[in-house]
Structure 1
Amino acid sequence: MEYRKLIILLALPFIFLTAKAQENNRILTDSIAEELYNAGDWKQLITWGNKPMADTSDFPALHFKIGYAYMVTGNYKAAINQFDFVLNKEPANSTARLYQYYCNNYLNNNAGASYQAGYLDKETLHSIKLSPFGLVTADVESGIKLPNNNERDNGFFERAGISTRLWWRFQLDQSYISFDQKIFREFYRDRYGDKFLFGKTDKQKEYFARLQFTINDKLSAIGSYHYIYTTFRGKTDYSNLGLLGITYTGQYVNLQGDINWGNLIGKALKQYDAKLDFYPLGNLNFYTTSRASVLDLSGVKSFIYNQAIGFKLLNNTWIETAATFGNEDDYLDNDGLYVYNSIDPTKFKAGETLFYQVSKHALLRLNYLYEKKTDIYRDINYNQNSVTLGITWKF
């Protein structure tokens, strides 16, 4: 017992000196970080501040300064990670919470921004000027599809959508969709013996609703419902589709897994999706989206893979390149918003989307899409080109 006491007495000076050195190191780190912060030397602050993260000089004030430096230099993902540390230690830090809101907003993560806004006081909420009616975004898009097939007329697509904040953790997205295309299949001859094609119009009217519940700053649960009313060749079909999924928001990646199921024009459908979004720069200046799907259509399984790459081209201008591989017959895309159930299945598609920020609130987008399709009546392949113009208004 005396031996143990002796060891403790001998160790006390070492413990004291170690604690003193750690305290001095912390004071030095904070002092240098404060100087760099006040001087606006953001890159040097990030470099300096990240060095002592493994030792005892790791404290909220330092994380706050580094988070601000990341935010100012445009690495919003890294900034969010730093402010997370601050809020875990100091939940009442309203400035860190406000910066979390802005970073999510800059990443177009409206649900994440709304979650952070729910913790702000009334005065701060008034300063960020949220819509008093809970409106988040409104958008419209219209497109034309031009098939290289003399038995298919041009197709026309329209969609109007609105996103609303039901509560700080709930966001509801709704869309009303219309699609029309005349399909030429039957022949007849007039009294002079001339041959003509007789067409039937494939018409669809659709309603889509997607609800997102933000569990915390990392996890969200999503659910969607899609109703489709289809008329073709004198037959009417009513289709109902649902989706359940979960998303995880990380420092440089976002992950999502979901399952779709339902009945689509008389066919039982199940689709399993896994998606990964990657932001290597922590912002929208460069990003990738990878999505793998297994589609089970009345027992027939297909594997479908989508890859998109986007980057900032010029000031206020972004471009995104995307391609989808696999049999997309009745394929569901974008959380079930887009349903590829045209009369002829798509075997491959690729396209370019140009985004232009017209103003603080308005985002214009122009999309070109190439599709390789198969004529189900004649078993031949043909090409289809589509152009879609849309605009999104952010409240």
Structure 2
Amino acid sequence: MRRTILIILLLVPLFTRAQEKLTPVEVDKETYAYYLNGEWKKLIQLSKEARKEGIDFFYLNTRTAIAYYNLGHYRRSIPLFENALQEIKGDTILLEYLYYAYLFSGRNQDAVFLTREFPESLKKRLDAKPKAVRNFSIESGVSSNTDYNSISTMSRNRNSSVYDDNYYPKNQYYVTTGLVHDLGSGLRYTQAYTYIQINEEQHIREMGNQPNESTHTTAQNQYYGALDFNLGDGFHLIPSLNMLWGKYSYIALSYDSNDAAIYSLVDENFNDYSLYLGLFKNFTYFSTELSGSFANLLGIDCSQFNGQLAIYPLANLNFYLVSTISLKQQKLTSANYSDNNMVFNQKIGFKAGPFWLEGYYTDGSMQFLSEANNYVIWNTPYPIDSRWGANLILPIHQNRLQLVFRYYSMKQKGYMLYYEDTDTYQYEEYNFTNQNFSGGLTWNF
């Protein structure tokens, strides 16, 4: 009996403590102690318990924000810092914390936007202000058709047709360079120039004549310009324009008065464009995008609507998932041509020590697809069925420099035209793999 009474007496304080409600004074005292000792997880746990009981005050928000920040949960700390600054506007400690929370969350434009509220002393100390040139980047890459030899052999060995005319890609080279400018704390302009060189083979064979084989180069230039309007509260509006121009060549077959074949080199120029408008919104654990574009590529009118969801489970850039769905439509009124399709892209990224790794897979016809805010345009005459790739990102010297190495592999297809007789023709489909290796450097000023 005595033993039972003793156990009950020992448990009474525990039950009493569990039923006691927290008080603002107690929460203030304990969170301050946790703050001084750097016990961030305990501080966050007590903060959650206090909020469940309706306790909420400035120093609780501020200490909780700093706790999340010091644990690396930068996106989680942002709304708490923003709320605290609503109560004490212009507090330099809070402004500095929020500035770096934006930067470490990948929200660089929001960090620049925040500098509107900085006193001059803080701008000078952090070197935080709009810059005429925010960064400079350059990237170059090569790609090759790994099935080139087998396709060219298949084309040369065809003996069943009276005439055939075939194109097949060999390799490709590109270089792109860009600049980012701050036109004010709430407006940013990105511009880039890209040069692409595509080498192709053309094979013409007519019964009774020697085959004609020739190599042709398509030279394409691109100018990209995009404005980023910071609308506040995590909203961004981005209009952009991508202009594409260049020339290509091919061999045309004709006949003289004696019906002898004449092969002539023909040069053609092209001018294409793509217009884009995107609306972005940042939240704590995710961000969203709704965007659309209209383009005229290779004489075809192309419309596209995109929806994107980026998820940050750890409230930082240590691990993220980006899912994008694009609905496309291509029309060529003069040929009564119309095509609709959907493209899905899934990317996963994570931090591995001092660098980041990204992997992605794209399913669906990527021909005429616009990506990366209209920066990349897949205006290839060879349809793309799928793609997978990986990126390695290496920040150097406190992210003043950033190296990136990329690889991707695409499944593409082409068509061989051949006549079985003088009136009957058909296209034979062939498949090939295009592999690309590239690398680049970004210099942040």
Normalising by structure 2, we get a TM-score of 0.79
* Aligned residue in 1 for 2:261: none
* Aligned residue in 2 for 1:160: 177
* Aligned residue in 2 for 1:306: 345
Contact 2:130 2:183 in 1 (8 A): no
Contact 1:115 1:217 in 2 (8 A): no
Quick one: which of 93, 108, 112 aligns to 1:95?
Answer: 93
- Percentage of pairs with the same residue: 22
Q: How far apart are 1:352 and its partner, in Å? A: 0.8
Structure-1 separation of matches of 2:129 and 2:444 = 10
Unaligned runs of 5+ in 2: 1-19, 150-167, 250-266, 332-337, 417-427
Runs of at least 4 residues off by over 4 Å: 193-196
Quick one: which of 225, 230, 255 aligns to 2:241?
Answer: 225
Structure-2 separation of matches of 1:302 and 1:393 = 38
Partner deviation per Cα, 1:186-217 (whole Å, 9 max, x = no partner): 3489xxx9866202211110000111111113
Structure-1 separation of matches of 2:321 and 2:130 = 34
Contact 1:175 1:209 in 2 (8 A): yes
Alignment of 1:325 with 2:389, yes or no, is no
Change (3 A) 1:89 1:55: farther
Quick one: which of 357, 364, 388 aligns to 1:350?
Answer: 388
Residue 51 of structure 1 aligns with an amino acid whose one-letter code is E
* Aligned residue in 2 for 1:59: 57
* Aligned residue in 1 for 2:412: 373
* Aligned residue in 2 for 1:9: none
Structure 1 segment 229-248 matched on structure 2, within 5 A: 229-233=245-249, 234-248=267-281
Of the structure 1 ranges 364-373 and 236-245, higher mean CA displacement relative to structure 2 is found in 236-245
Residue 101 of structure 1 aligns with an amino acid whose one-letter code is Y
Residue 236 of structure 2 aligns with an amino acid whose one-letter code is S
Q: How far apart are 1:245 and its partner, in Å? A: 1.6
Quick one: which of 367, 373, 390 aligns to 2:440?
Answer: 390
Q: The residue matched to 2:55 in structure 1 has which SS?
A: coil
Structure-2 separation of matches of 1:376 and 1:66 = 62
Contact 1:98 1:116 in 2 (8 A): no
* Aligned residue in 1 for 2:308: 275
Partner deviation per Cα, 1:42-90 (whole Å, 9 max, x = no partner): 1211111122124442112111111111111110110102112212333
Contact 2:74 2:104 in 1 (8 A): yes
Q: How far apart are 1:101 and its partner, in Å? A: 1.2
Q: The residue matched to 2:441 in structure 1 has which SS?
A: strand
Q: How far apart are 1:96 and its partner, in Å? A: 1.8
* Aligned residue in 2 for 1:10: none
Quick one: which of 215, 218, 227 aligns to 1:211?
Answer: 227
Q: How far apart are 1:132 and its partner, in Å? A: 6.9
Structure-2 separation of matches of 1:95 and 1:152 = 58
Structure-2 separation of matches of 1:194 and 1:317 = 56
Q: How far apart are 1:317 and its partner, in Å? A: 1.1
Pick 1 or 2: higher relative contact order, CA cutoff 8 A, min separation 6.
2
Quick one: which of 192, 200, 216 aligns to 1:200?
Answer: 216
Contact 2:129 2:185 in 1 (8 A): no
Partner deviation per Cα, 1:237-293 (whole Å, 9 max, x = no partner): 111211112111000000010110121221111100000110000111100100000
Residue 26 of structure 2 aligns with an amino acid whose one-letter code is L
Contact 1:110 1:136 in 2 (8 A): no
Normalising by structure 1, we get a TM-score of 0.89
Quick one: which of 168, 192, 200 aligns to 1:183?
Answer: 200
Residue 187 of structure 2 aligns with an amino acid whose one-letter code is F
Larger radius of gyration: 2
